[in-house]
Chain A
């Protein structure tokens, strides 16, 4: 197990290093230099380059870059808001994105679980059909389809909820983004819970528990659910990916000032510095989350632990 975790961490670190290297090279290759003002004399340019360490060999520059990234110094934005340090831009945006993401995951997981459990317990009833329909639609349709539908019918036509994000009304204005973002979670969790619970309900030890006289809620919660939900870690990875992608689109639709919309506008306005910093942040988030999921997976399911050892 220790060897497995160690190997995963090593690979993650290596990946991160490769990503940083690519990002650094991209920054080097980007057209233009920070000092292409014609009024500057060669002497001044030399002094500026010395000041910002640009006269150093590339390898030293790279190490400085890595060091700066590690302490959270991402440089300044050139286009979106001139000369603002990117860390300042991020400071207000990260909590917003995380808040909505967390809401979506929590809501999606709870609704998905309830739906999946009901579908499995009332197998072949209309609950079951509803669960199947929702999971097919939720997995298939991109989240912006839901977002646009909600925005038009609930936000614009019925005017029940604010159409655009408003920091003063966080709860009310985050309901629609949360719903749209959580559809995929609802669908995956519901589908997974249903399949897994059906399998467990059919197993021999459930028959044993039942014949021992355990009934009703205890039977379901203690014997069935507990075992059915262990492998739910397997769906975490696609969920994370979907949330990251989804947030970009959803934040644009509801004009939420989060990192997703910052990324979109940075890409659109060619603000390389911001794009590359955000690419770094997304990579770190993704790698850390994936690492956690993999390790959790190894700890929870002994079968995986064993096969990974055999690898």
Chain B
């Protein structure tokens, strides 16, 4: 009884009235409940406010000039690979025997004296300048990158070759994600005997040099896009699986994963919904690095004569055939080599930039 009196006393108002009595005496106006304006003395710190992971990464990526420029170069090459072959009046496999070994000639630039279709011929009696366009009276014909020893347009062939390289790039990403990622996630997540067996398989595959796997594969299969695809499938995903496994091992013992499991989440959900989004940074980086590797593999195979069959062209096979005419018609190798170089440099620098943007701790590695 006494206790009740005390509680009543506690809610007494300044006028010593019970609360409900007191409230009745107050008159409320509309502006009583407006926000107090504190514009003058309050400001939000925008410099250090936390931002989302992607926003921060994007900001870091934009600061990296090399990577941004590479991205634009790659985009340019992608567009050229798509529309390039259509821009030329000649198809990539169209042979015009009369127009062999034509030097590059570009409208507009020819007036400036560069790429005007003339080239220096070296003969036993010394060198002289020739211009086949003038000699043959083909004033309206323009081979922008020149023509090869079978009279095929190198402009179309170069961009068709770029298409092949880009196909290989896409293929590398797909293989990384489809095989490497899944393999690494499963191996790392389940651990124990599953991991044991899966890791031994990786170790064995890893100790076979890919030069050997590739050549052996090509011995049984005919050289071509299919065999290149298989060759990449065989060994391209090993690096990715290792990274994915290591990242899963770091995360799978964390409390939030345990919490999710306690709530009844299955393995599939934990792997793909809980762990995967948190390790996406290193995985993207790894994928980006396998692109130049795959392009290089294709070009290497083409160079030693295991590339796509004629009349299809890849950058590697163009370089390979240009190399045979290196001393007589050097222009044949210049453009494929240039595109190849830009592609390789671009993808490597883009990957570097992404690595720094997605994982700032890895800087300078």
Residues of A within 8 A of B (CB): 11-12, 14-15, 18-19, 22-23, 26, 29, 136-137, 139-142, 144-145, 148, 151-152, 156, 195, 198, 241, 244-245, 248-249, 252-253, 263-264, 267-268, 272, 275-276, 279, 282-283, 286-287, 290
Contacts and interface: CB of A to CB of B under 8 A. Distances in A.
12 contacts: A137-B345, A140-B292, A144-B303, A145-B337, A245-B300, A267-B215, A268-B304, A275-B219, A282-B209, A283-B209, A286-B209, A287-B207
B284 to A, nearest CB: 19
Contact of A244 (B209, B296, B306): B209
A279 B352 CA distance: 34
Given A136-B348, A144-B319, A244 B303 contact: no
Contact of A151 (B215, B326, B344): B326
Given A151-B326, A248-B211, A253-B323, A279 B365 contact: no
The 4 closest A-B pairs by CB, nearest first: A140-B348, A286-B209, A15-B207, A279-B212
A142 B294 CA distance: 12
B337 A283 contact: no
B212 A145 contact: no
Interface centre among B200, B212, B303, B337 (most CB of A within 10 A): B212
A267 B305 contact: yes
Contacts of A141: 341, 344-345
Number of chain B interface residues as a range: 35 or more
B211 A26 contact: no
Given A140-B344, A140-B348, A267-B306, A195 B216 contact: no
B98 interface: no
B208 A283 contact: yes
A286 B212 CA distance: 10
Contacts of A253: 323
Given A195-B365, A241-B209, A264 B305 contact: yes
Given A15-B204, A267-B215, A148 B323 contact: yes
A195 B219 contact: no
A279 B208 CA distance: 10
A244 B211 contact: yes
B349 interface: yes
Given A267-B218, A282-B209, A18 B204 contact: yes
B129 interface: no
Interface in B194-240: 200, 203-204, 207-212, 215-216, 218-220
Nearest to B345: A140
B25 interface: no
Contacts of A198: 364
A152 B296 CA distance: 22
Given A29-B220, A152-B326, A241-B209, A263 B340 contact: no
Contacts of B212: 19, 279, 282-283, 286
A144 to B, nearest CB: 6
A150 B11 CA distance: 94
A295 to B, nearest CB: 13
Given A142-B299, A195-B364, A267-B219, 19 more contacts: A15-B204, A15-B208, A18-B208, A19-B208, A136-B348, A140-B292, A140-B347, A141-B341, A142-B300, A148-B323, A152-B330, A249-B303, A252-B304, A264-B304, A267-B304, A268-B305, A276-B219, A283-B209, A283-B212
B327 interface: yes
Contacts of A245: 211, 300
Contacts of B299: 142
Contacts of B354: none
Interface centre among B292, B299, B323 (most CB of A within 10 A): B323
A263 B210 CA distance: 14
Contacts of B303: 144, 249, 252
B333 interface: yes
Given A144-B319, A268-B305, A275 B345 contact: no
A258 to B, nearest CB: 14
Contacts of A244: 209, 211
Nearest to A17: B204
B209 A14 contact: no
Contacts of A267: 215, 218-219, 304-306
Contact of B349 (A23, A136, A272): A136
A148 B306 contact: no
Contacts of A248: 211, 300, 304
Interface string B329-365: 0100100010011001101110010000000000011
Contacts of B208: 15, 18-19, 283, 286
Interface centre among A19, A140, A248, A272 (most CB of B within 10 A): A140
Interface centre among B304, B319, B337 (most CB of A within 10 A): B304
